Amino acid sequence: MARVYNFSAGPSCLPEEVLKECAAEMLDYNGTGQSVMEMSHRSKAYEPIIEDAEKMVRKLMNVPENYKVLFVQGGGSTQFAMVAQNLGIKNKKAAYIETGVWAKKAAAEAKKLGIAVDVIVSSKDKNYSYIPKVEKVTGDYDYVYICFNNTIMGTHYEYIPETGDIPLVADISSCVLSEPLDVSKFGLLFAGAQKNLAPAGVTLVIVREDLIPEPEACLPGTPTMLAYKTHADNGSMYNTPPCYTIYVLDKVLHWIEKNGGAEGMLKRNQEKAEYLYNYLDNNEGNFYHATTEKGSRSLMNVPFLTKYSTGATDEASVAKEKEINDKFVKEAAAAGLVNLKGHRLVGGMRASIYNAMTLDGVKALVEFMKKFAEANK
């Protein structure tokens, strides 16, 4: 079967070049006679892999020397707790900017741990379809928390909030290395790997060294594995790390470097996103429209609705909208364009066009959309 164009929000498509390299090395990595899947994380064969992965993260993201690069498990959702347990220890108070589901869940997790959470601004009034502007955050907060790119809602920060001496924490799971980012403006960054970096299983954490407390200084009851210092002091190998996922991540990082680094990814992603948004904004008969406001649009996740998504709640309208959406997703899949079903909180469809998605894939999607609109107008 031919390769499909995979528009999944995550786990997402990986560069074909990387997949082929992994396949070629599956039974014998670097002359060891074994797969990385089988390899001891303490072995001389594996250690250079995780060391190179850290080196490449530092190089591609221009990570300052006073930051630790960690590879941990548990996904971004575990970071919701780890951030609070490790950073919310002085005043037990934090500011959250609520721009969608993931920031809202992160705030809820911090509350469970006894953090006094201030939602200082929210875009809930318009179903999180925009990023609110925050000029400067002040107060006795231990940290300020944002989700830099909102996978479900398709929004993205076009600015970095000014927080002064208050550490800024950002979830960059769905936009990591899709563009240059000034790490020094943040106290902590984290990213689940399964969108732009690797298969699911590893989470990248970049944290300023002075924000890493001793384990006993974390919130009471913090498990050993949820203290950043545990991982920082042990080279991310306190326990068995997700070895194979880190191996793939290292290969993806080299692929990013080969294709121009973060700057090259930004150019690639702008070209894809502009092609799709231009069609959504100018399609004949306004059959489709993007759900996010201009000025807040993600380059990675593009939700869109058809003209049948009127917002009406009567039974006939809801049934028609479901019928057309289901038809779109089914026919797109038959045409080799998969995982386009929208999230239930937005509806419609969603095209996630992460780093590995090609411009050809986006063009194929737009051509399908044109034919579908003509057949269903």
Is 102 annotated in the active site? yes
If one counts every other C-beta atom within 10 angstroms of the C-beta of residue 35, the result is 16
SS3 of 77, please? helix
What token pair was written down for 286? 């306004």
Angstrom CA distances, 66 to 98, 160, 187, 208, 256, stand at 29, 20, 11, 6, 24
SS3 of 364, please? helix
Which of the following is catalytic: 68, 142, 171, 250?
A: 171
Q: From CA 189, how far away is CA 61, in angstroms rounded?
A: 11
Q: Are 41 and 240 in contact (CB under 8 A)?
A: yes
Pairing of strands 288-290, 203-208: unpaired
Report DSSP state, residue 136.
B
Q: Which residues contact 298 (CB under 8 A, 6 or more apart)?
A: 149, 150, 151, 154, 155, 156, 174, 175, 273, 292
Phi, psi of 79 (to 5 degrees): -65, -25
Q: From CA 154, how far away is CA 297, in angstroms rounded?
A: 6
Which of the following is catalytic: 102, 142, 251, 341?
A: 102
Helix/strand number for the chain, H first, E second: 9, 14
Q: Are 325 and 347 in contact (CB under 8 A)?
A: yes
Pairing of strands 155-156, 149-150: antiparallel
For tokens 């705030």, name the residue: 107
Is 255 annotated in the active site? no
Is 195 annotated in the active site? yes
**Rg (the chain; Cα; Å):** 21
For tokens 């892999």, name the residue: 49
Q: From CA 288, how far away is CA 307, in angstroms rounded?
A: 6
Which of the following is catalytic: 68, 142, 195, 250?
A: 195
Instruction: Kindly list the catalytic residues.
Output: 102, 171, 195
